[in-house]
Structure 1
Amino acid sequence: MNKAKIAWITDTTASLSKEFIEKHHIHVIPLHVVINDEFYKETIDITEQEFYERMKNEEGKFQTSQPSINDFVELYNKLKENYDCGIAIHASSLLTGTYQSSVMAAGMEDFKLFAIDSQTGSYPLSYLIKKGIDLVDQGLDAQEVVNQLNALRDHTRLYLVPSNLDQLHKSGRVSGGQKILASLFNIKPILSIEDGAAKIKDKVRTEKKAFAWLVNQLTEDLATKTVRKVAVVHANHFEKAAQLEKMVNESFPHIETEKMMLITVAGVHTGVGTLGLSWVCE
């Protein structure tokens, strides 16, 4: 029996390198970033770094927008000519409607699609895609791959520490009173992406305590699970990201680390200077 030809589909929240995308022929649909009502295709018209620099230096509205369903319709119309089916892994459906648009477009084009709501984004999403490609290479069929990746979702971790509450306040995530109190007492909320949504996991007084909290979460997971790699995510704050990476390297010299820019769909709410850690438990 001939092996099914599988297309891989994702979106720009996946934090994949251009080299990896090209090597594995991954079809990436861009989300849009919106600056003062002007639309830019993420990673095509504007990089994450450029977006954060503009957010830091310009007044106005900074938002994100999901891809048009037509982008997916066009893609699936082409893919069905050359592929038997597709596996699509998208950012959490609670954070963006991209997953829903992808599924709907595949139905409109009668393209056989195995769709996964990753319930996350950034590094964990890239991990799921890489793991899926490995599983296909090992000979698993599309449904078996999807089952394994769905089981992995509960083992992903993504923690974010906003540098301040300005952007969370603008996006309606915190009230004005909370913002003032946090500024007065230097309180830093720690956000976690869990079950597809952003939740305030804890609140600490200083950045130093926030970093210690992040490392402690990793320590707790390592007591019972295997973690091979940790991503230090940041919203255009290379210096602080290097400090956090150094802490992880000193505490866990056997674990590989990588610094990566925080996806704008998260950064538009958490703001410039956000820092965080992400990993997947195996």
Structure 2
Amino acid sequence: MNQKQPRIAWITDTTCTVGADFIKENQLNVIPLQVVIDGKSYKETIDITDKQFYERMASESVTFQSSQPSVGEFIELYEKLKEEYDCGIAFHCSSKLSGTFSASVMAAEQVGFKLYAIDTRTGSYPHAYLLNKGIELFNQGFGPEEICDKIEEMKTNTRIFLIPANLNQLHKSGRVSGSARLLANLLNIKPILSVEFEGAKIRDKVRTEKRAINYMLDLLREDMEVSKVSKIMIIHADAEENAIKLENLINAQEEFSSIPTDRMMLVPVAGVHTGVGTLGISWVCE
């Protein structure tokens, strides 16, 4: 651990689901990703809320896409930060899912800002978890390189599993074929999507949402046999009622009853691909 800590700027993007109080308390610099609705771009959390996005997706028959921040946006930020800070530590969403990490690194190099950029290989709750751990390590006296090393060790311990309500949006975004979508909707087949170190993939397919939920809970049980899980996060795409039911189901089971649970909305740039009604669970193995 270093005796004298450098002046560090903390940077992240809107796939990191932290609240306004946390952002203010830690002076976070948050670069927004964008959703593109019918050709018009909206910056997450600035031009459109999560709720507004999903309401529009549910009611409008137009195209919904996502877009990463430009290198120029990062250049503008880093030009300012290099005047006040010795360096920055940036926690970005998976480079396997977005070019945000690359844009951040490129911008820092162009303006000569010393940046320790972390490709979290995840998003949403685990992204926020890793950022929080990084700040905790800094407050304990660890330097930037040590923080990056320790976060690197934690990255493979993050879990996100999602159940789309249907395959319509995955079809529109080119993730599944039209015939696969039709068959899945007819037979009530639910894919379980996972965000892993190598990117997003369909982990498995099962009949009915109940079986899909049990599948996710079985994975949680397996992790709990060998690791500590300090929180279970229920993630949903404007499906609050179903999220509450899932939370109650988890809390009612004795093996999970001692673990705190919470709910959060799926970030719109992910919801673009999974659609309204998506339900999922996330946790981190400690």
Question: TM over 0.5: same fold?
Answer: yes
Match of 2:231 among 224, 229, 238: 229
Match of 1:172 among 174, 177, 181: 174
In structure 1, the residue corresponding to 2:242 is in which secondary structure? Answer: helix
Cα distance in 1, alignment partners of residues 96 and 220 from structure 2: 25
Moved over 4 A (4+): none
In structure 2, the residue corresponding to 1:87 is in which secondary structure? Answer: strand
Superposition deviation, residue 196 in structure 1: 4.2
Counterpart for residue 270 of structure 1: 274
Cα distance in 2, alignment partners of residues 151 and 265 from structure 1: 26
Match of 1:108 among 107, 110, 135: 110
Cα distance in 2, alignment partners of residues 147 and 88 from structure 1: 14
**Unaligned 5+ residue runs, structure 1?**
none
Give the root-mean-square deviation of aligned CA atoms. 0.8
In structure 2, the residue corresponding to 1:115 is in which secondary structure? Answer: strand
Deviation per CA, 1:54-98, whole angstroms, max 9, x where unpaired? 000001110111111111001111111111111001011111111
Letter paired with 1:139: G
Q: Give runs of aligned pairs for residues 12-91 of structure 1, distance below 5 A.
A: 12-91=14-93
1:257 is aligned to 2:240: no
Cα distance in 2, alignment partners of residues 33 and 117 from structure 1: 21
Give identity over the alignment, percent.
55
Superposition deviation, residue 20 in structure 1: 0.5
Superposition deviation, residue 48 in structure 1: 1.1
1:198 is aligned to 2:200: yes
Cα distance in 2, alignment partners of residues 201 and 39 from structure 1: 31
Cα distance in 1, alignment partners of residues 36 and 55 from structure 2: 14
Counterpart for residue 216 of structure 1: 218
1:119 is aligned to 2:121: yes
Cα distance in 2, alignment partners of residues 238 and 148 from structure 1: 35
Q: Any conservation in 2 of the 1:190–1:203 contact (CA below 8 Å)?
A: yes
- Aligned residues, how many? 282
**Unaligned 5+ residue runs, structure 2?**
none
Cα distance in 1, alignment partners of residues 245 and 169 from structure 2: 23
Cα distance in 2, alignment partners of residues 247 and 241 from structure 1: 10
Superposition deviation, residue 2 in structure 1: 3.2
Counterpart for residue 99 of structure 1: 101
In structure 2, the residue corresponding to 1:81 is in which secondary structure? Answer: coil
Match of 1:5 among 4, 7, 16: 7
Cα distance in 2, alignment partners of residues 181 and 21 from structure 1: 44
